[in-house]
């Protein structure tokens, strides 16, 4: 319906629409009290016509927003209305603003066409004047100046709004944060794996056309356990982790979360009724960070807890600052994402996941988008979380890190789980042979 509206009224000349609307009472006499007035007829015709153009401008703005913003909102349990109101529309409006400003200026100039239905518009007034005084050029110059003045005001207002919404122009500085000389010792043996199964996948299958990317995958992850998922590119690692929080649907199988039905792909893809309320307990850290660029670091951390009403603003701010301090980012709380390095962005993304107080965190290749010198700072944060007993599933290419931090290593290849082995058994167990070969190739590659 919307597409038909846009197609039709973008195809129809405004002059034709003006005359049609003004004369419409001949067909529908009931509209005469409104449309016989040139002002209302002209206004309605302009609104009908220009809405089609403005709708396309907004559609272009919405399409420009990276899909990662939608995925981040999904992972934080933010529903559609909240997502568009707080995340998508503000960014899309910023993108569309220059074109919208230009369209509004065009509308101002198009009002001159309304004179054809005898509305006393500036141009019509000018025409009446020069038929009396015969000063054609002088009158048209005066009329032109009026239009220039009006357009100048619109241009200034649009430019002011554009500058105000452009976060790249804002000046921010680092906060003064006391430097702690205490070094936290990461002790792997201090972690304990519980008996409770946090994530339980049973015969999960996913195919894209004829390409099977997950072939009857079964996996149990227990409380406090750190599981690393490795494998060559295209093996199904990322698809595996994305099915757990429904960023990717499944064709068959079931997934349970904390002992409750979560995702069912048997016969018909279906989420648990409480999915959007409970997905907040399953943190997600993306390869491309997916921070909200129009919000500061502190606002990125506070946004989802505030949306879910997890406390007062003062309480949420205090907690958010605490999580930023935990990952060494407290000094950058007032900065915007574009002012951070890749490693800093990823640490903020980890803080954002932690702020939801999750029962488990999923990491989708958290260091693959980083320069080598920035990888270590992110890995240290993940290792710190592991030492504190956080349940984690990590898709990674960092082989040495995987063997050092993981309780278990999963290897994917061509959609199949070819290994599921405890880290301490990796060097000796026959099942670890393929894993050892892959790791050796990765280190030499």
Question: What does the pLDDT profile of the chain (445 residues) look like in tens digits?
Answer: 888 999 998 888 888 888 888 888 888 888 888 888 888 888 888 899 999 999 999 999 999 999 999 999 999 999 999 999 999 999 999 999 989 988 888 887 777 776 655 555 555 555 666 666 666 676 667 767 777 777 788 788 888 888 888 888 877 778 877 665 444 444 444 567 888 999 999 999 999 999 999 999 999 999 999 999 998 888 999 999 999 999 999 999 999 998 899 999 988 899 998 898 899 999 999 999 999 999 999 999 999 999 999 999 999 999 999 999 999 999 999 999 999 999 999 999 999 999 999 999 999 998 887 887 788 888 889 989 988 899 999 998 888 888 888 899 999 999 999 988 888 887 777 777 777 788 777 665 5
Q: Which residue has the tokens 């935990």?
A: 326
In CATH terms, is domain 188-444 a member of 3.40.50.300? yes
- What pLDDT sits at residue 279? 92
- What pLDDT sits at residue 444? 57
- What pLDDT sits at residue 352? 95
Angle (deg, nearest 10), helices 297-307 and 342-354: 20
- What pLDDT sits at residue 445? 53
Does the CA dihedral 419-424-428-429 come out positive or negative?
Answer: negative
Residue 42 to residues 18, 118, 195, 238, 253, Cα–Cα distance (Å): 6, 10, 72, 56, 60
Q: What is the pTM of this model?
A: 0.85
CB neighbours of 120 closer than 8 A, spacing ≥ 6? none
- What pLDDT sits at residue 70? 95
2-166 and 188-444 share one CATH topology? no
- What pLDDT sits at residue 334? 94
Q: Which residue has the tokens 């490795």?
A: 230
Q: Where are the domains of the chain?
A: 2-166, 188-444
CB neighbours of 219 closer than 8 A, spacing ≥ 6? 199, 200, 201, 227, 240, 410, 417, 420
What CATH number has the domain spanning 2-166?
A: 1.10.3720.10
């Amino acid at each position: 319906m919307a597409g038909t509206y846009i197609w039709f009224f973008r195809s129809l000349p405004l002059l034709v629409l003006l005359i049609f609307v003004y004369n419409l009472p001949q067909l529908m006499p009931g509209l005469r009290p409104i449309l016989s007035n040139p002002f209302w007829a002209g206004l309605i015709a302009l609104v009908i016509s220009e809405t089609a153009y403005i709708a396309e401008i907004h559609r272009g703005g919405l399409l420009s927003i990276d899909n990662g913003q939608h995925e981040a909102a999904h992972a934080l349990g933010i529903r559609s209305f909240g997502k568009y109101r707080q995340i998508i529309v503000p960014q899309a409006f910023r993108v569309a603003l220059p074109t919208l400003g230009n369209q509004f200026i065009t509308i101002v100039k198009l009002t001159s066409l309304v004179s054809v239905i005898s509305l006393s518009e500036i141009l019509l007034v000018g025409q009446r004047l020069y038929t009396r005084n015969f000063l054609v050029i002088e009158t048209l110059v005066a009329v032109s100046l009026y239009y220039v003045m009006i357009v100048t005001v619109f241009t200034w207002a649009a430019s002011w709004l554009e500058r105000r919404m452009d976060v790249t122009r804002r000046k921010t500085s680092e906060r003064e944060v006391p430097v702690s000389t205490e070094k936290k010792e990461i002790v792997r043996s201090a972690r304990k794996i519980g008996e409770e199964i946090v994530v339980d996948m049973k015969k999960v299958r996913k195919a894209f056309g004829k390409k099977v990317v997950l072939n009857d995958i079964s996996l149990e992850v227990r409380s406090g356990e750190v599981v690393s998922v490795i494998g060559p590119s295209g093996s199904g690692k990322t698809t595996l982790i994305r099915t757990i929080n429904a960023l990717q649907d499944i064709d068959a199988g079931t997934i349970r979360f904390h002992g409750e039905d979560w995702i069912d792909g048997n016969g018909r893809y279906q989420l648990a009724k409480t999915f959007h309320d409970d997905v907040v307990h399953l943190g997600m850290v993306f390869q491309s960070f997916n921070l909200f660029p129009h919000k500061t670091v502190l606002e990125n951390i506070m946004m989802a807890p505030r949306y879910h009403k997890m406390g007062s603003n003062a309480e949420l701010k205090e907690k958010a600052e605490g999580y930023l301090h935990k990952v060494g980012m407290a000094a950058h709380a007032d900065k915007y994402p574009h002012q951070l390095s890749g490693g800093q962005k990823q640490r903020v993304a980890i803080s954002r996941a932690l702020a939801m107080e999750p029962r488990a965190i999923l990491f989708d290749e958290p260091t693959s988008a980083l320069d080598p010198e920035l990888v270590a700072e992110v890995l240290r944060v993940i290792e710190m979380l592991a030492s504190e007993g956080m349940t984690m599933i990590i898709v990674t290419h960092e082989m040495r890190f995987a063997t050092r931090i993981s309780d278990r290593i999963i290897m994917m290849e061509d959609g199949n789980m070819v290994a599921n082995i405890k880290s301490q058994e990796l060097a000796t167990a026959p099942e670890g042979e393929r894993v050892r070969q892959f790791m050796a190739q990765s280190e030499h590659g």
